[in-house]
Structure 1
């Protein structure tokens, strides 16, 4: 929190320039931010004590103010900043206490929005993840929520927070979180209810991809999480399920090594194209976290043989890098003047420079078809503008060094020679004591490479001097030679000293008269011999190579350096693995992941666990149906089930205790961070008091010494005055000689001026010819633009006609289907009509027969009727 820090440290500072300082409005904004933070903490404390609806409304209002009135940069915690440390602790406690329903649910989701707002700042994001442990809390909220839109929002936040997360052991929140994420990806258990509560189509796929992305982030370079994941999922089923998820699927399968899934060359080429497309998306918004994740994944490709082979055989790196350069140029045209945006831009560019350096380094391997020579000039023009940057300067200098070593060497050297001001700025910044050690080291390596080029060696020799080496070597030369083993010297200072000596040796090889004595004098210093010994026993390959190059110098003190090497290696702390060694061991363990999987395959067999669970379910079904033949066996099974239930209860209790321990650990971590902030604040105050006391004491001593020195200086000045008169007379005689030399030089200058006028006339002619060519080019461009517009219009007309034809064909198909349906209906009706006619004819026949029969009966009745007598 830069502004808050400035406000605290420089609250009453005066402006010495006599003008309005730009720090004053920043201090006002910081003061306002502190006020909002204090109000939030007060409202949270009141709510946790009362748990009333009114206090909850005040908390919601305070959260809304923090999310809208305070910029993300003000949420970055700094050492000694108690307000922000306690703010994050109170925010975590509030989110833990709120229910996910009703009004409290609204406040909870407002707090989640506040966390999203805070994490837009990189330092705040790191604190939220590492120092205040919000990831376990978000994992618990994901498991509790069933609504798709809320789960989607939590997964987006969790995906952003887990980029580059480092987890060293199986933390209690991991097993349920991994099980839930796997369930979402595989559409099992609770995931099905989540999907059914929302829209099931594209939203469901996006939810699965977000869950898979979080799994990738958690498993990447976290062996504990990776092994826990292997115990929680059937690998073959999981691999088949995620194969259609594009870049995320490739990342997950690459993490699981080649033993789990054997990639084809075409799939890895698609992965590389998708990775560069992802980098383009990150450069649009300067998304540092996701860009760092993608770049580190590509930089670690040597751990996966198939991916490494695919990168060596990928012949489109030049086009991919050129598209990224186009994206960067387009993004630079936008307004990135804000401090936070500018910082994100520089970090993103630094990651891009690292990736390009890695691609160039792969070009020197065997069977490589990589070449960036076509865009070397464009790369240099862009990189050279960022060499003095705070956040990407080291990566920019390293990229230029790599271009000079592996690219078009002569072209890069010529571009550097044509603009010597950039080298001058680098040399001037390296000798300043406040310059970052990494930037100084990168500058020294670049100067060594430039010194080996014929086009740039004179440039380097003209910019360095004897005092330049003294300023860089000030830290090791300040050590006491008698107590070298007991004094502390940072490893970065050792590297600076070794490469500075290598530069001096190379300079002395070219300018022996000027620098040979200086080189021999510095190499005789025991402090620098100690630095060379530490460089020799270090685990840095480049540093050891630099020391070996210095050892080729004819006056190299071999015996003295050997004694220091023996002393360092024999000491108990000399061979201890430092952070760099630990990082190398982790990298080696990551490269040997395939052998680790082979050894772990037996214990991670998910199919065996599923078969065992199926057997238990079968026995439970037999008991419930009472199909056992004998009573003793039934009792044994019942006892066995009782034992399993008791063990399950024990496991649940242990899991609950583990979760409680995890919560206590989180609270302890937060309290430890608050206490460390308090301690740092106290130490800074104490340190300022001690400095003030020492300043007053030394000032009194200095005043006494100045009094004595003034008396002695008066006598010395009188002696020097008499000596200066003699020297002045000698200088006057030398001045006469110099005037004669100046007259000769003036004649030479006149000759050179005449030559210059002739050359300038030639230059004007060339410029006129150049203007004519430019005008021709402009005309050709205009005609080409007209042709392109005509083509676009015709293409648009063709597209419209295609759409109309598609609509007509669709309507024709519908008419045909309707006609077919009508013919079928007519056929059915005609069949029914024929049947009705047949029925009518049958009925008429029956009616006729009945009528005949009636007539016959009537005639018979008439004939049998007795006649009346007259």
Structure 2
């Protein structure tokens, strides 16, 4: 399904609803579209830059303006806006261009349950963050008192959100501050705010913000040291609670305080930066979301840029922690770049006078060298991503290019980078700009323009050391699309981007021809295209035909009787003043005159308020119209740019075709000359062939005579042929007899072959039996040999035993004789006794 299909369906259904105002349409297909969009997983559909999203938000604004607080579609639209606010680019457009805050502020005046009130305040906090109010707007008169009442209430969850919305409205917006001063006693209000300061951490942050906002009004300098303490503790708790909103707001406000000249100096009085930073740094590896890690590293980058004493001891762990993060976090890359730049600055500024700075610079350089392979791998994979429409990928790649630029200041790292990064990899980054279909895409968003400028600056740095990169740099600068991006950066880019563009014009590759091309691109740009929708100041013209009063409303302030009464009082006062009898004027008459004056002022105030509301509504409509026209102009500009590219391509193709045509014409002329010469040669050959034909005709006549004689010979041969046919028939009959005998012989042969095959099978069986018998015979022979050997051994053993028996028999006979002798001797002695 198409990416913007749900938005297109919503716009179509809303147009039908706006014509009929049917509750069935509202609670049916329109509500279904809102529910589908409020749970979408693709937040890029809410990003500005496409005409579909512009029409969608304008239709949504009209829908929200027409619904009451009891409508379910309204709260579904609130959920949808909360979902859209998760996209930073969409949130900026919702704040500055489509202005949903005035429409939603009226909901605070209704009787809402706590959950709905929290939903509205959460959304208003998002839609008022960073808002710029340059004149008194009608919704402030009701919104700010409602917020003050909520701050003074007893609901703790509501107090922090209401205070946050109030601070967003008053920060750098004097009309909102003046409205706040008119509706409350500021001293008493600050006392109320300070009472709730000990509550939730978010309340403490908002109180610090409000004190800094009102310091020029109240004359009291806020406690900056307490603000810094609250900032560290808030970031610690918000990080552990995974509260991205609180972290983002705290970091952004700390950056604003840091940019203030007066508060900037007071920030250096805080003494626990190192300990608190170490405490925060211990949480960096525990980040459960990239957004929390992004805010944390952004805050650490602010601390590095402050150049606080003692912070150099944390540079190594800061780099190690940032390099250990996944490269989906652009803040980590920016932090590494800031630390590398700071250590290099310190080593160059103090040099050999401080060996510690040199060692620190070397250590950071070794850390960067160890993480260079991961950085280069990430750079190669980033070039393959679809950068169009992906603001996060653009921001990450900008941070990576800036880090690689900083690393190139080291000769050893620069050699490795130049060996690993090739021209083709970098061209992938410029592919959306250089592609043939670039006219169909928006390649001039601020993030993408910044990316291209930083990438060109990176290429210019490499071009100073390698001729291949110089040719790539020169080729890129020669592209008209690249020059158009540089022109856009000079018109509407931030300060650092403009400085880089101006620095690029002084490089070697930026020749006079390139400067002329840049000037032509600047003159071709339409300034209206470059004015962001919602950033201008539309005129507060009154609405025609209804509702509000214009600045020249001719309705009388007083009735005729009141005017006559007022004229009589004024004449009486004038007469008494001429008679010097002012003291005789009755107090009731003065009070009556004062009441007339109050009535006239109240009427004038009502007229002015209605005129202001009409002007606000008209300004919002004009902003919506400007957004539509900006999207349409941007689309036409891209189409025109694409058409120009096509025309240039066609011109180049035409020139190439003309050159090919001229070459073909030259080849054709040469071929024609060859063909004319060949025709002459062939004509001579034809003449020779004609002469040959005449000779052949004469030879043919001779051959014809020979043919007649040959025919007569053929007739004689035919008679011989008949005789041969008779002989052939007799031979054919004898052949049949031979074939019959041959068939009998084949059958006999088959039988003999069958008998032979049987004999062969019998012979094979006999051969196998003989082989088996031979194997058995060999086995028996082996066994007989073994038995003979055993027999010989046994015979030898028997001989040995027989000799031993013989020996023992001899011994036995000897012993027997000895025994006999002994017996005889003993028997003889007995006889003698």
Mapping 1:425-464, distance limit 5 Å: 425=377, 446=403, 449-450=406-407, 453=410, 456=413, 459=416, 462=419
Q: For the structure 1 residues 372 and 634, does the alpha-carbon distance in structure 2 shift closer, same or farther, using more than 3 Å as the test?
A: same
Q: 1:225 aligns with which of 176, 181, 202?
A: 176
Q: 2:190 aligns with which of 236, 239, 243?
A: 239
Is 1:208 aligned to 2:208, yes or no? Answer: no
- TM superposition shift of 1:641: 1.0
Is 1:355 aligned to 2:299, yes or no? Answer: yes
Q: For the structure 1 residues 699 and 287, does the alpha-carbon distance in structure 2 shift closer, same or farther, using more than 3 Å as the test?
A: farther
- TM superposition shift of 1:647: 1.1
Q: 1:124 aligns with which of 90, 105, 110?
A: 90
Deviations 1:720-774 (A, max 9, x none): xxxxxxxxxxxxxxxxxxxxxxxxxxxxxxxxxxxxxxxxxxxxxxxxxxxxxxx
Is 1:45 aligned to 2:7, yes or no? Answer: no
Q: For the structure 1 residues 708 and 412, does the alpha-carbon distance in structure 2 shift closer, same or farther, using more than 3 Å as the test?
A: farther
Conservation of the 8 A alpha-carbon contact between 2:138 and 2:616: yes
Q: 1:641 aligns with which of 566, 579, 595?
A: 595
Partner of 2:320: 380
Partner of 1:253: 211
Q: 1:97 aligns with which of 51, 66, 87?
A: 66
* Partner-residue secondary structure (3-state), 2:586: helix
Conservation of the 8 A alpha-carbon contact between 1:447 and 1:503: no
Q: For the structure 1 residues 58 and 454, does the alpha-carbon distance in structure 2 shift closer, same or farther, using more than 3 Å as the test?
A: closer
Q: 2:334 aligns with which of 395, 410, 419?
A: 395
Is 1:140 aligned to 2:96, yes or no? Answer: no
1:56 and 1:438 map into 2 onto residues whose CA distance is 40
Is 1:161 aligned to 2:127, yes or no? Answer: yes
* Partner-residue secondary structure (3-state), 1:166: coil
Q: For the structure 1 residues 384 and 110, does the alpha-carbon distance in structure 2 shift closer, same or farther, using more than 3 Å as the test?
A: closer
Q: 1:662 aligns with which of 594, 598, 616?
A: 616
Partner of 2:828: none
* Partner-residue secondary structure (3-state), 2:287: helix
2:648 and 2:329 map into 1 onto residues whose CA distance is 33
1:431 and 1:74 map into 2 onto residues whose CA distance is 20
Q: For the structure 1 residues 672 and 639, does the alpha-carbon distance in structure 2 shift closer, same or farther, using more than 3 Å as the test?
A: same
Q: For the structure 1 residues 504 and 312, does the alpha-carbon distance in structure 2 shift closer, same or farther, using more than 3 Å as the test?
A: farther
Q: 1:279 aligns with which of 209, 232, 235?
A: 235
Mapping 1:841-852, distance limit 5 Å: none
Task: Please say which of residues 121-130 and 132-141 is displaced more in the overlay.
Answer: 121-130
1:467 and 1:691 map into 2 onto residues whose CA distance is 23
* Partner-residue secondary structure (3-state), 1:243: helix
Q: For the structure 1 residues 228 and 323, does the alpha-carbon distance in structure 2 shift closer, same or farther, using more than 3 Å as the test?
A: same
Partner of 1:671: 625
Task: Please say which of residues 431-440 and 347-356 is displaced more in the overlay.
Answer: 431-440
Q: For the structure 1 residues 40 and 286, does the alpha-carbon distance in structure 2 shift closer, same or farther, using more than 3 Å as the test?
A: farther
Conservation of the 8 A alpha-carbon contact between 2:68 and 2:74: yes
* Partner-residue secondary structure (3-state), 1:168: coil
Q: For the structure 1 residues 390 and 64, does the alpha-carbon distance in structure 2 shift closer, same or farther, using more than 3 Å as the test?
A: same
Q: For the structure 1 residues 642 and 545, does the alpha-carbon distance in structure 2 shift closer, same or farther, using more than 3 Å as the test?
A: closer
TM-score normalized by the length of structure 1: 0.52
Is 1:329 aligned to 2:302, yes or no? Answer: no
Partner of 1:292: 248
Deviations 1:482-525 (A, max 9, x none): xxxxxxxx8987777677666766x69xxxxx99999xx99xx9
1:93 and 1:516 map into 2 onto residues whose CA distance is 53
1:93 and 1:437 map into 2 onto residues whose CA distance is 33
Conservation of the 8 A alpha-carbon contact between 1:360 and 1:370: no
1:693 and 1:638 map into 2 onto residues whose CA distance is 79
- TM superposition shift of 1:639: 1.8
- TM superposition shift of 1:374: 4.2
Conservation of the 8 A alpha-carbon contact between 1:88 and 1:132: yes
Please, which runs of 5 or more residues in structure 1 have no aligned partner?
1-6, 10-29, 188-194, 333-344, 475-489, 509-513, 581-628, 714-870
Deviations 1:134-180 (A, max 9, x none): 10011122134465554333222211222222333333322332233
1:71 and 1:139 map into 2 onto residues whose CA distance is 28
Conservation of the 8 A alpha-carbon contact between 1:60 and 1:110: no
CA RMSD of aligned residues (A): 6.0
Q: For the structure 1 residues 448 and 681, does the alpha-carbon distance in structure 2 shift closer, same or farther, using more than 3 Å as the test?
A: closer
Conservation of the 8 A alpha-carbon contact between 1:168 and 1:224: yes
Please, which runs of 5 or more residues in structure 2 have no aligned partner?
198-203, 347-356, 388-392, 432-448, 532-582, 668-833
Conservation of the 8 A alpha-carbon contact between 1:37 and 1:66: no
Conservation of the 8 A alpha-carbon contact between 1:72 and 1:120: no
Q: For the structure 1 residues 310 and 130, does the alpha-carbon distance in structure 2 shift closer, same or farther, using more than 3 Å as the test?
A: same
- TM superposition shift of 1:544: 7.8
2:424 and 2:26 map into 1 onto residues whose CA distance is 66
Conservation of the 8 A alpha-carbon contact between 2:333 and 2:403: no
Task: Please say which of residues 208-217 and 691-700 is displaced more in the overlay.
Answer: 691-700
- TM superposition shift of 1:690: 6.9
Partner of 2:367: 415
Conservation of the 8 A alpha-carbon contact between 1:162 and 1:218: yes
- TM superposition shift of 1:637: 1.4
Conservation of the 8 A alpha-carbon contact between 1:359 and 1:370: no
Deviations 1:380-430 (A, max 9, x none): 35346555x595586355335346436832221112223442464588799
* Partner-residue secondary structure (3-state), 1:214: helix
2:621 and 2:125 map into 1 onto residues whose CA distance is 23
Q: For the structure 1 residues 285 and 86, does the alpha-carbon distance in structure 2 shift closer, same or farther, using more than 3 Å as the test?
A: farther
Q: For the structure 1 residues 126 and 441, does the alpha-carbon distance in structure 2 shift closer, same or farther, using more than 3 Å as the test?
A: closer
The structure that has the greater radius of gyration is 2
Partner of 1:835: none
1:39 and 1:549 map into 2 onto residues whose CA distance is 48
Deviations 1:41-69 (A, max 9, x none): 256335x5456xx4453367436633665
